Chain A
Amino acid sequence: MARSVTLQRKSFNTLIAWIIGLLLFFPILWTILTSFKTEAQAIADPPVWFFFDWTLENYRVVQERSNYSRFLWNSIIIAGGSTILGMIIAIPAAWSMAFVPSNRTKDILLWMLSTKMLPAVGVLYPIYLIFIQLGLLDTRIGLTIVLMLINLPIMVWMLYTYFKEIPGEILEAARMDGAGLKEEILYVLTPMAIPGIASTVLLNIILAWNEAFWTLNLTAARAAPLTAFIASYSSPEGLFYAKLSAASTMAIAPILILGWFSQKQLVRGLTFGAVK
């Protein structure tokens, strides 16, 4: 009796999970499908699902019209660079907040988070002017710095939560064992926090990869990443859904693959502390 109830429940939960999963995945699936259609089929009404003339034409055209690898390279540098730079700042910051908190630590954490509540466009103008002054407009380094700053609060918050889980006595033991601050962070804290650090890195790469507001506004040609590559196919003159979809698919493919292979790590990291 009890068993059949749990089985029913289980099937129900599974069904719900699949529905939610498919709902979330549907836009991506639709983009990928559309990228293999002709332009006519892409806007057909009623929409065609799977039975159309599968074609690679869009990909060929996109490849011809723009230099995909240059955008890809910019994306890798900007996402990777901002993550590395961010971690260099966030690890010591989170360390100090977690292990040597002051009366103001909570306030600082909240203040950092509050910067995420500000609409980005609110600071576009000052940042744009600063970028002009410093000659950072349309440079990879400029974009790396901005994306790092945008995501820094999230990085610090995530790491702070992971570090909080590490017993302080272990770090004190390291200090007693003769470790200086550098050794303590390098040999004891970091290895213990690897799962947390890894998921912070992954999440940050994904966030930086998908960031569109700043990448579109602060770049033109030289430093433009894949978000700009996608945007260049949505023009007001005429809608080319199939080509736009092909470009989108190419832009999200690397991060989708990365996410696929690291999903276990990501889930573990994001639920760290919640589930022991």
Chain B
Amino acid sequence: MGQIVLEQVTKSFGDITVIPPLDLTIEDGEFTVFVGPSGCGKSTLLRLIAGLEDVSSGEIRIDGAPSANTPPAKRGLAMVFQSYALYPHMTVRKNIAFPLRMAGLDRAEQDRRVEQAAAVLNLTDYLDRRPGQLSGGQRQRVAIGRAIVREPAAFLFDEPLSNLDAALRVGMRLEISELHNRLKTTMIYVTHDQVEAMTMADKIVVLRAGHIEQVGSPLELYRAPRNLFVAGFIGSPKMNLIEGAEAAKHDATTIGIRPEHISISDENGLWSGVVGVSEHLGSDTFFHVHQTGLAESITVRADGEVGFKHGDRIHMTPRADMIHRFDDKGLRIA
């Protein structure tokens, strides 16, 4: 099966430590997302698990077996790369069959499994084409097909959707989630896009500078961010962070309130300010409110039909039970 345990894993390139000692357990069948800003070490961590990079110290256990020094081919993991990394000189059929060929399966079994994967991924009509003749979405499916045929212990995805256009990305996101529901195989997914993380994950691992900032389900992270970094990173648009007198009222150094937890009115409210930019999404409108005396700008989510204009003075009231409090170290106050 596919439990993956990292024990005190570190990675340095020369003098630069990318991953300081890190412990993490990914349970069998879990869809885990590594998320964080660029350069936070999430891809490096994935590559350490894959075996494409050697750990500097520590141990990686795959199903209990120490694997830190096992070559990638022997770890029983499959990986989908950001660039798809298809073999340009092989047809789609040969691309998908490649891991089976390497595993020494006979031709009949190879063909059977390739046909099966192609049917699942809607690639049956394209089996005899080469990657160069496919669209981005189709190439991505071939890459996934190549990963699923050999029934790996876990799938590793390295920002697989970042080369696709927005519409395709949403479609592929669903396809990958459905695939996970069907296969029930461990998946580790790296992304910098917190929307992908929130929508797909069973468990999110938020990373910054190689450190794990918080591990939890999407809603845990949303409801109870452990520190300011997670608070600011999870949720879109970002949580409003307010310091100073307003925060002191709540016995905190910083308080956070999400745009969707502020109600607005043209008559009265706890806070007030002047509408700057409004972003109309149709269903929702995001108002960026200035001159509040709280922070440079407060973002508020309102119903799409609410029609304040640039320059209007509005009043805002945060939901008291939705205020997050943080101490002077940026840690959550329970």
Q: A170-B87, A172-B52, A188-B87 are in contact. Are A177 and B98 (CB under 8 A)?
A: yes
Answer whether residue A47 sits at the interface, using C-beta atoms and an 8 A cutoff.
Answer: no
Chain B residues with CB under 8 A of A167: 83, 85
How far is it, in angstroms, between the C-alpha of A13 and the C-alpha of B292 when the chains are bound? 69
* Alpha-carbon distance A170/B81, docked complex (angstroms): 9
* Cβ-neighbour of B73 out of A170, A175, A192 (below 8 A): A175
Determine the distance from Cα of A169 to Cα of B85 in the docked complex, in whole angstroms.
6
A179 at the interface (CB under 8 A from B): yes
| Inter-chain contacts of B98 with A (CB < 8 A) | 174, 177, 179, 187
Q: Count of chain B residues with Cβ under 8 Å from any Cβ of A?
A: 24
Query: Measured between C-beta atoms, what is the minimum distance from A184 to chain B in Å?
Result: 9
Residue B137 interfacial (CB < 8 Å): no
CB proximity to A under 8 Å, residues B137-159: 146, 150, 156
From DSSP, what is the main secondary structure of chain A's interface residues?
helix
The answer to whether A180 and B85 touch across the interface, beta carbons within 8 angstroms, is no
Do the beta carbons of A178 and B88 come within 8 Å of each other? no
Inter-chain contacts of A177 with B (CB < 8 A): 73, 78, 98-99, 102, 146, 150
B198: interface (CB < 8 Å): no
Determine whether the beta carbon of B79 is less than 8 Å from that of A192.
no
Q: Please give, as numbers and ranges, the residues of chain B lying within 8 Å of A178 by CB-CB distance.
A: 73, 99, 102-103, 150
Q: Does A120 contact B (CB under 8 A)?
A: no
The answer to whether B85 touches A172 (Cβ under 8 A) is yes
Q: For residues 142 through 191 of chain A, which have their beta carbon under 8 Å from a beta carbon of chain B?
A: 167, 169-170, 172-180, 183, 187-188, 191
In the assembled complex, how far is the CB of residue B106 from the closest CB belonging to chain A, in whole angstroms? 16
Task: Enumerate chain A residues within 8 angstroms of B77, measured Cβ to Cβ.
Answer: 176
Q: Any chain A CB within 8 A of the CB of B50?
A: yes
Interface contact A169-B83, CB-CB below 8 Å: yes
- In the bound assembly, the distance between CA atoms of A180 and B70 in angstroms comes to 12
Nearest to B73 among chain A residues (CB) is A178
Q: Mark B304-322, 1 if CB is under 8 A from A, else 0.
A: 0000000000000000000
The answer to whether A192 and B83 have CB atoms under 8 Å apart is no
- Closest beta carbon of chain B to A178's beta carbon, Å: 4
Number of interface residues of A (CB under 8 A): 17
Q: Mark B39-83, 1 if CB is under 8 A from A, else 0.
A: 000000000001110000000000000000001110001110111
- Chain A residue with Cβ nearest B94: A187
Q: Say whether B249 faces chain A, with CB atoms less than 8 Å apart.
A: no
Query: Does B329 sit within 8 A of A, measured CB to CB?
Result: no
Q: Which residue of A lies closest to B82 (CB)?
A: A169
How many angstroms from the CA of A219 to the CA of B89 in the assembled complex? 44
Min distance, Cβ B260 to any Cβ of chain A, angstroms: 39
User: Is B78 a contact of A176 with CB atoms below 8 Å?
Assistant: yes
Residues of B within 8 A of A187 (CB): 98
B89 and A191 within 8 A (CB)? yes
Nearest CB of A to B273, in Å: 48
Please name the residue on chain B nearest to A191 by beta carbon.
B89
Task: Kindly list chain B residues whose C-beta atoms are within 8 Å of the C-beta of A172.
Answer: 50, 52, 72, 79, 81, 85
Which residues of chain A are within 8 angstroms of B71 by Cβ–Cβ distance? Answer: 175, 180
Top 4 A-B residue pairs of the complex, sorted by shortest distance between their CB atoms: A178-B102, A173-B85, A177-B99, A169-B85
Instruction: Return 13 A-B CB contacts under 8 Å, by A number.
Output: A170-B85, A172-B72, A173-B81, A175-B51, A175-B52, A176-B50, A176-B52, A176-B72, A176-B73, A176-B78, A178-B73, A178-B150, A179-B98
14 further A-B contacts with Cβ under 8 Å, apart from A176-B52, A179-B73, A180-B73, are: A167-B83, A169-B81, A170-B88, A172-B52, A173-B85, A175-B72, A176-B72, A177-B73, A177-B78, A178-B99, A178-B150, A179-B102, A183-B102, A187-B98
Interface residues of A (CB under 8 A from B): 167, 169-170, 172-180, 183, 187-188, 191-192
